[in-house]
């Protein structure tokens, strides 16, 4: 009888222990599910971490439309706006930028290879070691070319200090080189959250970029 009573007590204790573990297991499972779900990239967060930056492809192509608002050369209160179609082809650290705009700009090509940048406009070819300065002197367009290849990918440039915006109203942006960059929309593929709409402002300058298409190329597919 005592042996039977002992077995019954042990069985009851094991049943009670299992009943006690069940809510805890359920809580742990829910906690793990919540943790895993939090690791996914939010829709409104720019790709700025080093791990994600290292995973980005080095050969890519993007096309879309940009709007650049600059002060009018005579009427400072009335800004002047340029609307341009663009195509950017990136190959490692080199790139080719094609701009198509009004008649005073027409078709403009900027080719950067290693330390030299060449601007081609019609029969004109001008070369410089500073892409931004070259574009500004030849066309009066103050585009931040030295950092734009990184901003297009949703990252700050590694060449300049950056201040990330962590406020509740601006969770997808940063400030660099005096420019404030904000990402308002993204295109998601299998492994990256890529910018779709970018707004960059610097004092009286305002740059809006709408990306229509992303394309990733293998090195041997990149146009020469």
Q: CATH number of the domain that 171 lies in?
A: 2.50.20.10
82 in any annotated domain:
yes
Residues with Cβ within 8 Å of residue 51, at least 6 apart in sequence: none
133 in any annotated domain:
no
* Residue 194 reports pLDDT greater than 70: yes
**Does an H or E element contain 105, and which?**
none
116 in any annotated domain:
no
Same structural domain for residues 36 and 79?
A: no
Same structural domain for residues 73 and 143?
A: yes
pLDDT above 90 covers what percent of the chain?
55
Same structural domain for residues 28 and 89?
A: no
**Higher pLDDT residue, 133 or 1?**
133
28 in any annotated domain:
yes
Same structural domain for residues 208 and 149?
A: yes
Q: Which residues span the domain enclosing 4?
A: 1-40
* Residue 200 reports pLDDT greater than 70: yes
- Among candidate residues 212, 205, 215, the one with its CA nearest the CA of residue 67: 205
pLDDT value for 54: 52
Contact 91, 107 (CB under 8 A): no
At residue 159's C-alpha, the angle toward residues 156 and 165, to 5°, is 30
How large is the average pLDDT for residues 97-125? 93
* Residue 28 reports pLDDT greater than 80: no
Determine the Cα–Cα distance for residues 184 and 203; give it in Å rounded to an integer: 20
* pLDDT, tens only, 49-78: 343 445 567 899 999 999 999 987 776 677
Residues with Cβ within 8 Å of residue 183, at least 6 apart in sequence: 44, 46, 154, 172, 173, 195, 197, 198
Q: How many domains does the chain have?
A: 2
Same structural domain for residues 27 and 73?
A: no
**Higher pLDDT residue, 149 or 20?**
149
12 in any annotated domain:
yes
Same structural domain for residues 4 and 89?
A: no
* Residue 132 reports pLDDT greater than 80: yes
Going by pLDDT thresholds of 50, 70 and 90, the confidence category of residue 18 is very low
Same structural domain for residues 74 and 26?
A: no
* Residue 224 reports pLDDT greater than 80: no
58: left (phi over 0), alpha (psi -120 to 50) or beta: alpha
Same structural domain for residues 149 and 205?
A: yes
pLDDT value for 189: 67
Determine the Cα–Cα distance for residues 224 and 222; give it in Å rounded to an integer: 6
* DSSP-based three-state secondary structure for 191: coil
**Higher pLDDT residue, 165 or 18?**
165
Same structural domain for residues 86 and 152?
A: yes
Same structural domain for residues 20 and 58?
A: no
65 in any annotated domain:
yes
Same structural domain for residues 61 and 10?
A: no
How large is the average pLDDT for residues 103-114? 90
Same structural domain for residues 79 and 147?
A: yes
Phi, psi of 95 (to 5 degrees): -155, 160
Q: What is the mean pLDDT of the chain?
A: 77
33 in any annotated domain:
yes
4 in any annotated domain:
yes
* Residue 46 reports pLDDT greater than 70: no
pLDDT value for 73: 72
């Amino acid at each position: 009888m005592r042996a039977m009573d002992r077995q019954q007590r042990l069985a009851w204790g094991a049943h009670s222990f299992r009943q006690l573990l069940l809510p805890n297991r359920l809580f742990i499972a829910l906690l793990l599910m919540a943790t895993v779900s939090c690791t996914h990239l939010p829709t409104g967060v720019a790709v700025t971490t080093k791990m994600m930056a290292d995973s980005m492809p080095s050969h890519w192509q993007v096309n879309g439309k940009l709007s650049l608002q600059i002060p009018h050369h005579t009427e400072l209160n009335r800004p002047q706006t340029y609307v341009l179609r663009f195509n950017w082809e990136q190959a490692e650290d080199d790139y080719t930028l094609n701009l198509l705009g009004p008649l005073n700009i027409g078709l403009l090509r900027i080719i950067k290879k290693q330390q030299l940048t060449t601007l081609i406009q019609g029969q004109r070819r001008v070369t410089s070691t500073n892409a931004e300065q070259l574009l500004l002197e030849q066309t009066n367009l103050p585009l931040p070319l030295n950092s734009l290849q990184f901003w297009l990918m949703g990252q700050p440039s590694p060449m300049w200090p950056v201040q990330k915006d962590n406020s509740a109203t601006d969770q997808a942006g940063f400030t660099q080189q005096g420019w404030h960059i904000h990402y308002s929309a993204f295109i998601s593929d299998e492994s990256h959250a890529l910018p779709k709409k970018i707004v960059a402002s610097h004092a009286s300058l305002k740059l809006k970029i709408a990306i229509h298409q992303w394309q990733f190329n293998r090195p041997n597919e990149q146009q020469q």
